[in-house]
Copies of this chain bind each other. A is one copy, B any other.
């Protein structure tokens, strides 16, 4: 059984096919969030603090931290954000940047064993990111594209992932330290996007025997009621082999789908978490109804 271990100074998280699915909170990311980008650039991290606490309270097992702000000192801001987030929570972090200097700045201040997000199959990325991953004994997200772009053929994307795993081995990085991201496209733009990913995930689990992750919210881009699509996608991807995802833990539909997925994969022992969560919900619902009945009673004409 393939197990990937990441940690903070005091907490370990294990990713694997026989483990509860790992949700990596996606919200600390200024891409497409102009207010957050401007605040972070100006040194105001109050929204980062709120996003940290809210995602952990909602059940995120890890948090992704991205500081990709145009024309800003990304390495410095990313390092500062990581230190701040680690002062607020003990969940392990994913250090997310397309700039190698920013990844290194983040790794230098990180307490524990980080997840580096990400390396691709592009030669220049492989040669710059893999030594860093080795140096800091980190885990790494391997995105299955290369210089030729993103293939629509799932078997080509699988082959790219396989090549990254082999190159990582050349650098002394074990396959257990790699989470392959099969690259999920918006289903509204590409009707085969789901099937492509389900196929790659099955091969990653059964043939390459590596763990996987995925930016899961992208799939519903442009559609109404995105949470319904995202939740169903995650359950389907779990059945196909996905073992973690970068997504929004605050969306109730996503949380419920993952929790049910854990039950159905046999990774919520005796369905204990499901039963606990939904018995509590049922009791609270009943209490709410009783309070409402009382209120309705006192308000009715006597």
Contacts and interface: CB of A to CB of B under 8 A. Distances in A.
A191 interface: yes
A219 B281 CA distance: 21
Count the copies. Answer: 2
Interface residues of A, number: 42
A163 interface: no
A138 interface: no
A288 to B, nearest CB: 16
The dominant DSSP class at the A interface is helix
Interface string A121-139: 0000000000000000000
Given A191-B269, A233-B264, A278 B240 contact: no
Contacts of A219: 264
B279 A224 contact: yes
Interface stretch (A2-10, A97-105, A253-261): A253-261
23 contacts: A187-B263, A187-B266, A187-B271, A191-B266, A194-B239, A223-B263, A224-B274, A224-B282, A225-B274, A225-B282, A228-B256, A228-B260, A228-B278, A229-B260, A231-B232, A232-B232, A232-B256, A232-B260, A232-B264, A236-B261, A236-B264, A237-B239, A239-B239
Given A194-B264, A239-B240, 15 more contacts: A187-B263, A187-B264, A187-B266, A191-B266, A194-B239, A194-B266, A195-B266, A224-B274, A225-B281, A228-B260, A229-B263, A229-B274, A232-B264, A233-B260, A236-B236
